Amino acid sequence: MTRRTPRTTRLMAGTACAAVTAALIGAAAVPALADGPAPGPAAAQQGSAQTRVARGELVSARHLGGMSAEKVRTWLAEEDFDAASVRYGVDTYRLVYRTVDTRGRATTASGLLVLPRSADRRLSTVSYTHGTASLKADAPSMAEDVWGPGPAVTYGSAGFAAVAPDYLGLGEGPGVHPWKDVPSETSASLDMLRAAHQFVPRKGRTLDGQVFVTGFSQGASSALGLARALQGGADPRFRLRAVAPIAGAYDFRGAELPALLDGKLDPKMSVAYVSYLLVSWNRIHGGLYRTPSDLFQEPYASHVEKYFDGTTPGQVMLEGLPDTVDELLTPRGFALLRHPSGTLAAALRVDAEVCTAWTPRVPVRLYRISRDEQAATVNSDHCAAAFAARGAAVPVVDVGEKTYGGSRHLGANLAGTALAVRWFASLR
């Protein structure tokens, strides 16, 4: 869910793919389309406000740059991404588009679009939803390294149109990011697809409607949320083809929270996730605390909300927080997370619905890595069991032994992306 590298320590950094030199492209409006059944109470609040928003309307598009196939291979190798599936050079774009916030009010979001330099006029699409980021500039369409957009460029260079939404509040989106809020991650991802559908004809191409869905860590749950919406008919222009989430924390109540609190995962990353969860969900749902000192010990209570306002670099946030959850939480904070009730319990139920509330009718593979130090490996087992209880056989696929900067969790993104792009290409 978070990124730590030998060069710097920060939450899940993205990247801008190439030199940012290009012209702003004007946008035409597209009609709003009604969504399918909304996942969770936040989406249920959207009501009539949602019908007045031109969901997915393109606001702007900026060409970030381009790379030849040879350059893509070299560029991906800088962060140890597998370049075996690279067939084409790519062009990358930052799209800004209209969407809705957690309460259904009009807002905008941004995301990365990668198009292959192929002769194909009709392109299938891969949606990749990224892992945890706390700084706006670390979103895939904005960041200055390979890690964030690496998966999207991998899929684009394999011949797909690849979209990587930044989510609400990251990239060029206003406000703060509602972390681990699957309903808004779903709506932002769906509207990114709509924006791409509008923009791609400007480049003389069209999207053929087939959508392959994947995502890593936080984005693994987001991917399942988008897949659920697409299968439910959220937009008739898009047909769900296959789903391949990677290293997700799907069962936050039953698997992830116990591991975070009991020292079974990386201690520093556990502090970051617990902090982000409480701050974010108090902003979204309310009722978790009146002041941060209710749940957080001082001196951390005085700074914790600032760390997750989108302006604080992940390295600064990590350095400012303690090394263990025991140093972070008050007794009330521990009690809330060990025995969720009320608002928190309801939000955790909605979060888990990506595995418990729908039955996939397309191929799904859950990629994971053993001994994951950030997303407890048993999360994938719980998700597969939930699907099996609904009659869907969903295999759990171990990605093998891979690390990145000493992290098996991050290694899962590298290995899982390599497996997913080959699988998707075989189904196209």
**CATH code, domain with 179:** 3.40.50.1820
What is the separation, in whole angstroms, between the first and last Cα of the chain? 29
Query: Which of 319, 349, 379 is the last residue before a domain boundary?
Result: 349
Could you tell me which of 354, 360, 372 has the C-alpha nearest to residue 415? 372
Supply the range of the domain harboring residue 274.
Answer: 252-349
| Separation between Cα atoms, residue 428 and residue 425, nearest integer Å | 5
Q: Report angle CA 394, 400, 402 to the nearest 5 degrees.
A: 130
Query: Which of 318, 349, 380 is the last residue before a domain boundary?
Result: 349
Do residues 344 and 369 both lie within one domain?
no
Do residues 103 and 132 both lie within one domain?
yes
Do residues 301 and 209 both lie within one domain?
no
Amino acid at 326: D
Q: What is the pLDDT along the chain (428 residues), one digit of tens a residue?
A: 444 343 333 343 333 332 222 222 222 222 222 333 344 434 433 444 444 779 999 999 999 999 999 999 999 999 999 999 999 999 999 999 999 999 999 999 999 999 999 999 999 999 999 999 999 999 999 988 999 999 999 999 999 999 999 999 999 999 999 999 999 999 999 999 999 999 999 999 999 999 999 999 999 999 999 999 999 999 999 999 999 999 999 999 999 999 999 999 999 999 999 999 999 999 999 999 999 999 999 999 999 999 999 999 999 999 999 999 999 999 999 999 999 999 999 999 999 999 999 999 999 999 999 999 999 999 999 999 999 999 999 999 999 999 999 999 999 999 999 999 999 999 99
Residues with Cβ within 8 Å of 389's Cβ and at least 6 positions away in sequence, in order, are none
3-state class of 368 per DSSP?
A: strand
Amino acid at 200: V
Q: Do residues 321 and 272 touch, judged by C-beta distance below 8 A?
A: yes
CB atoms within 10 A of CB 274: 22
Query: Which of 317, 349, 381 is the last residue before a domain boundary?
Result: 349
Q: How many domains does the chain have?
A: 2
Do residues 237 and 381 both lie within one domain?
yes
Residue 386 within a domain: yes
Do residues 62 and 210 both lie within one domain?
yes
Residues with Cβ within 8 Å of 368's Cβ and at least 6 positions away in sequence, in order, are 246, 247, 377, 379, 380, 396, 397, 398, 399, 412
Q: Report the predicted TM-score, pTM, of the whole model to 2 decimal places.
A: 0.90
Residue-by-residue DSSP string for 126-142: EEEE-----BGGGSTTT
Do residues 66 and 136 both lie within one domain?
yes
Residues with Cβ within 8 Å of 308's Cβ and at least 6 positions away in sequence, in order, are 134, 176, 177, 179, 275, 276, 279, 280, 317
Residue 164 within a domain: yes
Largest CA distance in the chain: 61
For residue 299, whether the previous peptide bond is cis, meaning omega lies within 30 degrees of 0, is yes
Do residues 257 and 206 both lie within one domain?
no
Angle between helices 331-338 and 267-285 (to 10 degrees): 80
Instruction: Indicate the length of the chain as a whole number.
Output: 428
